[in-house]
Structure 1
Amino acid sequence: MDLEWMHEFLKGMIKPLLATAVVLMAVLLSYFQKLGLECEMIYSILRAFLQLSVIGFVLQFIFSQHRSVWIILAYLFMVSVAGYTAGQRAKHVPRGKYVAGVSILAGTSVTMLLLVVLNVFPFTPRFIIPVAGMMVGNAMTVTGVTMKRLRDDIKMQLNLVETALALGATPRQATFQQVKRALVIALSPVLDNAKTVGLIALPGAMTGLIMGGASPLEAIQLQIVVMNMLIGASTLSSIVSTYLCWPAFFTPAYQLETKVFSSN
């Protein structure tokens, strides 16, 4: 059995192991400053080390296959984990994990479909899985913030929303300002990042290409595509999440479901 790949892997892990010296520095600073974060730092870096190592082997296997089913399974796994994580952020939203998962699935799948149809990316594991990962990660953050912010804003303005409903407004009309505020707050970091990309720091995709030997011009071409898809997927996912939240926030008679807003 050829174990050359294992030798190369172990050889390549020398630099990552040496880089843990900066984590040791952070642990020492935490200790001397009495922050109490030493154990969490060590746990976090060990977990990241283990997770990335496992994912590396999984991706190595998937990339060696030529079946689309592996792409779909990997994508659905990422969406499931992202939906669970975003749902945890918005834990007071009923069925929050389901809402987040469906929203992320809708936003990222539509965006990915457009990119494939327009021949921006070929439908191969080496392209689709990393691209999907970036989209799902951003959609997860934006969706979680949108759901949490929308619920919190409605809770703070219950009287205003109830008055609008009493005057005949639909749930969409009664919560228009809250929805708008939640979406603006959630999407602002993505848009701000697009405005400053390359000026403050080189993004990960662009940095990886340059360090891998690609020319800066090739790197910026890919980064522009990445920024476009992140904005599209994040916007669609966050908007879908607001529509899916409403059945939990209102009764069939268009009244506020007060028990949803009773907890802190």
Structure 2
Amino acid sequence: MNDLISIAGLATSLALVGVAATISLWQRLGLHRQILWAAVRALVQLLLVGAALSLLLEPGRSLAWSWLWTAAMVAYAGDVARRRAPEFPRIMALTITAFAAAAAITLGVVFGFRVLPLEARTLVPIAGMMVGNSMTATVLAARRLVEELRDKRDEVEARLALGQPSSQAARPYVRAALRSALTPQIETTKATGLVFLPGAMTGLILAGVAPVQAVRLQAVVMFLVLASVSTTTVVVTLGLLRRVFTTDHRLLPLPRPQQTSHGSTGPATT
């Protein structure tokens, strides 16, 4: 299986990137440079990660290095949130807290109940799935909550004027933010196996694993992602809610989203 994809095959596959760039040029989308840069950047990052994982998975390597890698991914997720949503103060700390909570729940179930063996080859990829698939949802939930509270400020302040505490006055908008962030993952979960074959299962089948075994692992990953997305979004949303209201239940001025050009770190393929 080490020769599943040769260097020549990898180089040949770059022609597919050329197809995307050519379409951009043909339709004058102005995205060809971004497409090429994204492909090169992704390839370099994947090669570096592959080299690092090769060292991490060497026989006899301490599991502590894998936990350190997991902690670094959580910290990086917080930094990505800070760069994607710089208008929200201290969102990096809030996001790190959310991912720490999600890790405690999801990794605790998967490894605590021995669904998967706790090894470097399972810990790092599973943690990566958790972080990668939840990152976009957490930022989306934060932005949607602030957008709801800002655009419906009069409604919120009317509720506050009637004597409702901030948590109760903001409840409908918290629900709207959570629904907005969770719906894409729910729809993806419903379509799994019918509309598309997810990445983890496809990779295992290509590697020669029996389809039934690949499906079982994919189901575990799918449930883990659903739980992590739910946990991180609710922690970020409720945490942000505490920061947009004063202790005496007044709604603070809310920022508008800033347009940023930072490179995206999209969700990992489940």
Out of 178-187 and 61-70, give the one that drifted further. 61-70
Map of 1:176 onto structure 2: 171
Look up the match of 1:3: none
Match of 2:31 among 18, 28, 37: 37
Letter in 1 for 2:110: L
- Residue of structure 2 in register with 1:239 after alignment: 234
Q: 1:49 aligns with which of 43, 50, 53?
A: 43
TM-score, normalisation: structure 2: 0.89
Q: 2:133 aligns with which of 133, 138, 155?
A: 138
**C-alpha distance in 2 between matches for 1:171 and 1:116:** 38
Q: Determine helix, strand or coil for the equivalent of 1:20.
A: helix
Structure 1 vs Structure 2 CA RMSD: 1.7
Deviation at 1:263, TM superposition (A): 7.0
Give yes or no for contact 2:246–2:252 (8 Å, CA) kept in 1. Answer: yes
Letter of the 2:182 partner, please give it.
L
Q: Is the 8 A contact 1:88 1:96 kept in 2?
A: no
Contact 1:93-1:151 within 8 A present in 2 as well: no
- Are the counterparts in 2 of residues 27 and 37 from structure 1 also a CA contact under 8 Å? yes
Deviation string 1:231-252 (CA, Å, 9 cap, x unpaired) is 1111111111112112320112
> Following the alignment from structure 1 to structure 2, what is the Cα–Cα distance between the partners of residues 12 and 157?
56
Q: Is the CA contact (8 Å cut-off) linking 1:210 and 1:216 kept in structure 2?
A: yes
2: CA distance, partners of 1:15 / 1:76: 34
8 Å Cα contact 2:143-2:257 kept in structure 1: no
**Is the 8 Å Cα contact of residues 87 and 256 (structure 2) preserved in structure 1?**
no
Paired residues for 1:198-217 under 5 Å: 198-217=193-212
- Give 2:57's aligned residue: 63
On the 8 A contact 1:104/1:143 being kept in 2, the answer is: no
CA distance in 1, matches of 2:257, 2:144: 14
Q: With structure 1 as the length reference, what TM-score do the two structures score?
A: 0.91
Which runs of 5 or more residues in structure 1 are unaligned? 1-7
For 1:8-157, list aligned pairs within 5 A: 12-64=6-58, 65-157=60-152
* Ranges of 4+ aligned residues in structure 1 off by more than 4 Å: none
Structure 1 equivalent of residue 267 of structure 2: none
Give, as a single letter, the amino acid of the residue that structure 2 aligns with 1:125: A
Q: Relative to total residues, which structure has the larger helix share, 1 or 2?
A: 1
- Contact 1:90–1:144 at 8 Å: present in 2 too? yes
Which stretches in structure 2 are left out of the alignment for 5+ residues? 259-270
SS at match of 1:35: coil
Tell me: higher relative CO, structure 1 or 2? Use CA pairs within 8 A at least 6 residues apart: 2
Q: State the distance in 2 between where 1:72 and 1:166 align.
A: 49
